[in-house]
Amino acid sequence: MEKTIRNFIFDLGGVLVDVDKERSIEAFKKLGVAQAEQCISIYKQSGAFSELERGEISAEVFCRRVRHMAQENISDKQITDAWNAMLGEILPWKLELLLALRKRYLVYLLSNTNAIHWEVACQRLFRYKGFDVNDFFEEIYLSFQMHLVKPSKEIFQATLNCAGLLPGETMLIDDSPENCEAARALGMQAYCVKPNEVWRHLFE
């Protein structure tokens, strides 16, 4: 690790949390939402899914929109369960690494996510040995709260400004090549995590 790095900004899905979007696509199809495959992709969503991620609509409105897409009387719980089906776990070594890094660096989270997934993250994924999500990060920046999404220059700049970080002292850990390129364009360093990569070697 370069000595100039003082700050790490982590992505959530695909870096910390194991994600399989096919599980959500299949779950939605079973509910009659045939358009799910067009709306859910690896890095970007579209339609109501994108609007939820940007914080442009509430979870309630999202469920109503999806129910309309299904043209069936499915419940909010069925919809949120299908949407959450993509979320796996955070492996313990990642949580331990975040705690260890916080002793030496400033550690942040910057994620394209939504209120439904974030509730699962807070209530389940980051519950570990008595810690909760706020114990793992200095600050947390989320697309649905910022009304911005990666890879826009604006979301990276807003994060740097809010946290008071210098780009040259900051490294992004993300699984999207587009996001990493956007960060580098602002003078940050970036590491693009490959699918299923065990990336702890970065800190050894």
**With b meaning 16 or more CB within 10 Å and e meaning fewer, what string describes 167-203?**
bebbbbbbbbeebbebbeebebbbbbbeeeeeeeeee
Q: Which residue has the higher pLDDT, 71 or 90?
A: 90
Phi, psi values for residue 191, rounded to 5°: -125, 125
**CATH level 2 (architecture), domain 21-84:** Orthogonal Bundle (1.10)
pLDDT at 8 over 80: yes
Confidence at 97, pLDDT banded by 50, 70, 90:
very high
Whole-model pTM? 0.94
Q: In the chain, list all ranges with CATH 1.10.150.240.
A: 21-84
The rounded radius of gyration (Å) of the Cα atoms in the chain is 17
Structure tokens given for 75: 């419940």
pLDDT score of 46: 76
174 close to 180: Cβ distance less than 8 angstroms: yes
State the average pLDDT for the chain. 94
Is residue 174 among the annotated active site residues? no
Between CA 147 and CA 168 the distance in angstroms is 25
Mean pLDDT of 159-165: 98
Confidence at 181, pLDDT banded by 50, 70, 90:
very high
Q: In the chain, list all ranges with CATH 3.40.50.1000.
A: 7-18+88-203
Q: pLDDT tens, 48-86?
A: 999 999 999 999 999 999 999 887 889 999 999 999 999
Residue of 11, 76, 132, 174 with catalytic role: 11
Q: Which fold has domain 7-18+88-203?
A: Rossmann fold (3.40.50)
117 close to 85: Cβ distance less than 8 angstroms: no
Percent above pLDDT 70 for the chain = 97
Q: pLDDT tens, 144-154?
A: 999 999 999 99
Between CA 5 and CA 183 the distance in angstroms is 14
